Amino acid sequence: MSKVIGVVGAFAIIGLVSPATALDLVVPTVKSRPTADIGWREVYGKVTYSVELTDAVKARDSLQGFIRERIKTVWGNSDGSYIVTITLKNGTQEIAKRAIFSFRWQRSTFLGFTSKEEITSSLSTNGTLVDRFPVGAENNSLQVFLELNQTHGFSFDTQNYNDFSAQVSLLNFKILQPAVKIATEAVVPLELMAKLLNSTSKADISVDTEMSFVKSNNPKSIEYNLRGQGNVNSGLRVKVLFDTEPSLLALNFDTTKGRFPDGLSLSSVVGLAKVGPSGAVRNLDGALDPNSDAKATGYITSLRQGKMPDGVSASIVCDELWDVAFKYFSNRDAPLVYAAYLRRYGAPLKAADAKSSCVDQYEPEFEKLNIPYKTIGFVQQISVSLGWVAVGMVFAQKQYNTRASPFEFGSILRQFFVGLTA
C-alpha cells in the first residue's frame, strides 16, 4: 500500500555544500526474538514490513534531513530519482526487495549557489517481502538491510516499483523453496524486469541484520528509525517482522495441540493446495516439475481419468503421492493434502493392498493431526462392508439359534456374502 506525501519541503541554503563525509549506517532496534521451539518444516515463513512517520509535525523535515545527508554524502548534490528499499537475502543471494520510500531531488541554482531544494515523494506504508515457504534449517535465518538507490533514465513511485519487484522476486523464490519453479516462458520477461530494477547506483544506509523465524537467538522483529541529525523523536519508522503461519490450508489450526480443527472437510482441501508466494500461487497439479515429478504427474492424470496407472501397484502410487506432498508442503499440511487427493482421485485404488498401503501405514500421522481420513472413498466402502459383515453374522447366528442346522448356517452366510458383493 502506498500513499503520496507530496512536496516535502523547499528551503534556501546559503553558501557552498560542505564536502562529503563518511556515511553512518543505521542500526535497527531489536523488538523481539523467536520464543517457540518449533520443528523444521512445521510452519511457513512470512516476512512483512510496515512504515510510518512519527511525530507528524516534524517527521517530514526530519526525514528530508536524513535523505539530504545521505545523497550529498554518496553522490554529492545530484538531481535525480531515488528509492529507499528494504532488501531480503540469504547469504549473498538476493531474495526480495521492496521500495518503502521514493522521491525526486531537484535543485535550483543562482550564480553557482544552491538557492532551493525540493523533494517530492511517495511512501509505501506496508507490504510483504516473501511468504508461503516451509521454514527449515536452510532458510530459517535470513538477512535484512536498507539501501538507497539512484535510478538512471527512469523513475518509479513506490507502488510501481513494488509491482515490478514482486514479479521479479519469483525468480528467486526457489532459494527458499527449491521445489517451486516458475514457468519457463516467464523467465526471460522477468529477467528483463530484473535488469531494469538493478540498473541503479546503490548505497547501503543500514547494517545487515540477520533475523530468524524459529529456534534462534536472532531477532524476529526489528525497527529502523530514519531521522535527520538532531531529531530524536521524529522521522520514518520502519518495522520488519519474521512471522510464521501454522498452515496454508486451515486458518484455525490448533497450535497448542498441534492438530487440525474438528469438522475439517477433505473435499475443499484440493482447491486450497496451492504453492508459491502470494500473488503468484499455483495449484499443486500445475506446479509439479515435469522432470523430477514426472511419476506423480502421470499417476494423478491416470487417477483423474478413473483408471489405475499401468504396471504399478497401489503401494507405489501412494508412496509417490505421499512424497510429493511433503516436497511442496509443511510436515503438517502434507498429510492433509495427501488424504485430500486420495479422497478426490483415489476411486481406482480398490486393489487388495490399497487400504493397507495407502491409508493404514499413515494412520498414526492422520490421527495425530486430526485428519478425517475415514472419509476417503475406498476406506468408507471397506468400513461399510465390514459393518454389513457384522450384521450378517448376527443375522445368521439368529437363524442358527432358532431353526437352522450347521449346514444351513453356512449356506445362509454364503448367500449373505454373495448379496453383499454382487
pLDDT tens profile 260-300: 999 999 999 999 999 999 988 899 988 999 899 999 999 99
For residues 49 and 211, the answer to whether their CB atoms sit within 8 Å is no
pLDDT reported for residue 409:
47
Separation between Cα atoms, residue 78 and residue 150, nearest integer Å:
9
For residues 107 and 79, the answer to whether their CB atoms sit within 8 Å is yes
Q: Is residue 60's pLDDT more than 60?
A: yes
Q: Which three cell numbers stand for residue 224?
A: 529502523
Range name among 20-29, 137-146, 156-165 with the lowest pLDDT average: 20-29
What Rg value do the Cα atoms of the chain yield, rounded? 31
pLDDT reported for residue 82:
86
Q: What is the pTM of this model?
A: 0.81
Average pLDDT value for residue range 12-17: 30
Amino acid in the structure at residue 279: G
Q: Is residue 403's pLDDT more than 90?
A: no
First-to-last CA distance in the chain? Answer: 63
Q: Is residue 402's pLDDT more than 70?
A: no
DSSP code for 205: -
Return the number of other C-beta atoms located less than 10 Å from residue 390's C-beta: 10
Share of the chain above pLDDT 90, in %: 49
For residues 142 and 95, the answer to whether their CB atoms sit within 8 Å is yes
What's the pLDDT band for 415 if we cut at 50, 70, 90? low
Separation between Cα atoms, residue 272 and residue 156, nearest integer Å:
35
Separation between Cα atoms, residue 23 and residue 145, nearest integer Å:
15
Place of cell 553512518: 24
Average pLDDT value for residue range 205-219: 95
pLDDT reported for residue 388:
41
Backbone angles phi, psi at 255, to 5 degrees: -75, -25
Range name among 44-48, 297-301, 418-422 with the lowest pLDDT average: 418-422
> Which ranges of 198-313 would DSSP assign to H, the alpha helix?
269-272, 284-287, 294-304
What's the pLDDT band for 121 if we cut at 50, 70, 90? low
Average pLDDT, the chain: 81
What's the pLDDT band for 187 if we cut at 50, 70, 90? confident
Average pLDDT value for residue range 192-197: 82
For residues 378 and 347, the answer to whether their CB atoms sit within 8 Å is yes
Q: Which three cell numbers stand for residue 209?
A: 541484520
Q: What is the β-pairing status of strands 44-54 and 29-32?
A: unpaired
Return the number of other C-beta atoms located less than 10 Å from residue 135's C-beta: 26
pLDDT reported for residue 17:
32
Separation between Cα atoms, residue 222 and residue 243, nearest integer Å:
12
Domains in the chain: boundaries: 2-245, 266-375, 380-421
Provide DSSP, 403-415.
T--HHHHHHHHHH
Question: What are the residues facing 257 on neighbouring strands?
Answer: none
Backbone angles phi, psi at 21, to 5 degrees: -120, 170
Average pLDDT value for residue range 347-359: 82
Share of the chain above pLDDT 70, in %: 77
Tens digit of pLDDT for each residue in 63-103?
878 887 888 888 876 677 888 999 999 999 999 999 998 88
For residues 75 and 160, the answer to whether their CB atoms sit within 8 Å is no
Amino acid in the structure at residue 10: A
Amino acid in the structure at residue 73: T
Provide DSSP, 33-50.
-------TTSSEEEEEEE
E strand or H helix at 363: helix 363-369
pLDDT reported for residue 387:
44
Alpha carbon of 302 to those of 27, 245, 268, 350, 377: distances in Å?
A: 57, 34, 21, 14, 17
Q: Is residue 238's pLDDT more than 90?
A: yes
DSSP code for 364: H
Q: Which residue has the higher pLDDT, 209 or 67?
A: 209
For residues 355 and 378, the answer to whether their CB atoms sit within 8 Å is yes
Classify the C-alpha dihedral 331-323-338-129 as positive or negative: positive
Q: Which three cell numbers stand for residue 80?
A: 535525480
Separation between Cα atoms, residue 166 and residue 170, nearest integer Å:
7
Helix, strand, coil abundance in the chain, percent, nearest 5: 40, 30, 35
Per this entry, what is the length of the chain? Answer: 422
